[in-house]
């Protein structure tokens, strides 16, 4: 089974890349299921109902999030009614929404998707290690044959620690949040695919998706300023993972980093191949 994971979708530029190209990209990788982190889909911070619907309609099967999940107040109102939109499972009991779900890929294999968030330099919420164990048991009870974990965290050490902690129990632990794709993809001894950050999908001519002038001014002056999503050099970052459904272990992991021109070529080729 092939899984395609799309790194943090940032603003309209990121959503446009997903809308225009994810179906063709998924087909080019033979993906049976597509997962994307969407916590920055709404102008670089948060996700609205319309954003979630747009991303799901574009061919994404499950949306994960992170510390920006509540930046748009409306998310509190609709997340409980959209099981394909996850928030970190280690938010305290009673928080709206769910931290995991089980979905069926196009090949009929049931996949458990778990979303947890690190605590180093982020929020003092529940322990992501213990909560991940709880969610693994939960998705297995719901029939998951393969388990994917989005670990949304600030430090590579916390993300890598979770990779080793869950090695052999899940197919993949992929890190999100920093928006900078790392080059440490590997399959651990127990069969868990690991990458400490998938990077982000959106405009790369700014500072992690934000217009660079405003960010530079903040660092230089120390004064608050209005951050806007950048617009140029749109790129899609993510990862493709192959998993053996009979064991739930990964057999291959490949980083993805594509410009819009490269994505357009993939989409154009897919369109041409589909013509009679």
Q: Which residues are catalytic?
A: 68
Cα–Cα nearest to 34, from 9, 11, 51, 12: 9
Residue appearing with tokens 């009870």? 141
Cα–Cα nearest to 37, from 3, 75, 64: 64
């Amino acid at each position: 089974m092939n899984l395609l994971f799309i790194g943090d979708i940032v603003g309209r530029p990121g959503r446009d890349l997903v809308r225009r190209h994810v179906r063709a990209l998924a087909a080019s990788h033979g993906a049976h299921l597509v997962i994307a982190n969407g916590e920055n889909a709404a102008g670089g911070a948060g996700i609205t109902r319309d954003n979630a619907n747009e991303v799901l309609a574009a061919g994404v099967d499950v949306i994960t999030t992170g510390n920006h999940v509540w930046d748009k107040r409306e998310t509190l109102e609709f997340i409980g009614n959209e099981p394909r939109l996850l928030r970190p499972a280690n938010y305290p009991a009673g928080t709206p929404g769910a931290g995991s779900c089980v979905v069926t890929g196009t090949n009929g294999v049931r996949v458990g998707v778990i979303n947890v968030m690190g605590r180093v330099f982020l929020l003092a919420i529940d322990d992501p290690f213990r909560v991940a164990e709880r969610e693994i048991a939960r998705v297995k009870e719901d029939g998951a044959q393969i388990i994917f974990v989005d670990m949304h965290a600030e430090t590579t050490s916390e993300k890598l620690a979770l990779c080793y902690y869950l090695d052999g129990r899940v197919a993949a632990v992929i890190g999100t949040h920093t928006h900078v794709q790392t080059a440490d993809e590997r399959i651990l001894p127990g069969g868990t695919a690991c990458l400490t950050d998938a990077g982000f999908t959106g405009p790369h001519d700014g500072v992690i998706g934000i217009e660079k002038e405003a960010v530079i001014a903040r660092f230089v002056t120390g004064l608050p300023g209005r951050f806007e999503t950048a617009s140029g050099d749109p790129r899609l970052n993510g990862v493709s993972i192959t998993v053996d459904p009979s064991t739930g272990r990964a057999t291959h992991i490949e980083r993805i980093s594509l410009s819009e021109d490269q994505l357009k070529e993939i989409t154009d080729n897919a369109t041409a191949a589909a013509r009679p």
